[in-house]
Structure 1
Amino acid sequence: MRNLAILGLAPLLALAACGENTGWNPNYSAMHNGSRYAEYLQQREQALHGRGPVPDAIPVQLPVRAPTAAEIAGVPAKKPGQMTVTTRPVTARPATAAPVAASGATPVLVRYAHQESQNPGQTKYPRSGVSANAAARACLAFPSVNAAQTAFIAAGGPVIDPRGLDPDGDGFVCGWDPRPYRQSRL
């Protein structure tokens, strides 16, 4: 039993012998190098333990291996030599018409133009609290009126209008006109 008690106390004695709080701590290795910063650290530790006044200022000390201004600036890069550019003649190819989409692959805007029968400016969807100025500012975020109308349809269309792009309630945003899309392309 006595041996068991000794074995139980041995780890505690070993930890106490480490001396964590007796002045040597690897976190405070700068405290003993004789610099102004070391003096500051020692004064700060004494103040934290209530054994001295709080230091007035933190001294600035550069690290031993701090780079100089010249090292930071580096060596200027060499200017590239003169380059020559050669051109090749371009042969013109005749323009071909874009293929017409089949009826089963109707684009979103064409489908929407045929689905909505009203013309621009004719209110079909009730709106409240939507500002025409705010809608005009929101339209500036889109590269084209087609992109704005496509995004409007994708976000829920005229029934929801979450971005407030359709203040007049006609179902068309940013000046998009459905009439050209309603014409037959035969």
Structure 2
Amino acid sequence: MRKHVMLALSPVLALAACGENAGWNPNYSAMHNGSDYAQYWQQREAALHGRGGVPQTIPVQLPAQAPQVVQPGRKVVPATVAVVPANAQPVTAGGPYPGSTPVLVRYARQERQNPGTSAYTRTGGSVVSAASQCSRYSSADHAQRAFIAAGGPILDPRGMDPDGDGYVCGWDPRPLR
């Protein structure tokens, strides 16, 4: 019995002899190299054992520059961020559509049926409940975006499209095509 217990415990004892977390975590392997984190760790351990004050900050060292893949003979160009003025109108491949969004333009081009032409099967829902839902939105564009976001035209969880044409609250896709 004693022999079996020793055999079962020998891997655990072998791992314990390797040292605490040595090798897999750079923070732990650097505990004795004099880095800022090593000093913090030693202060923290002393505070936990009642032999010193609690350190107030945890040092974190981040890379000064992110690594980049550079192909031989190619110049590295830093990335730029485009600044869009707050009053800019959305622009799509077909041109600007004042008051519209790319989501609505894409949807108008995707759906080929005209308003009033049933393209989706609807069960339940009424014109009265649809009108009630539409009154909650400031414009037909806002209602159509909410309809698309809720799963429309395949789904109509709010009953906004009782005729099944894929358009709600009088929204007309034809000007955006």
TM-score computed with the length of structure 1 as normaliser: 0.43
* Larger Rg computed on CA atoms: 1
TM-score computed with the length of structure 2 as normaliser: 0.45
Q: Which has the higher helix share?
A: 1
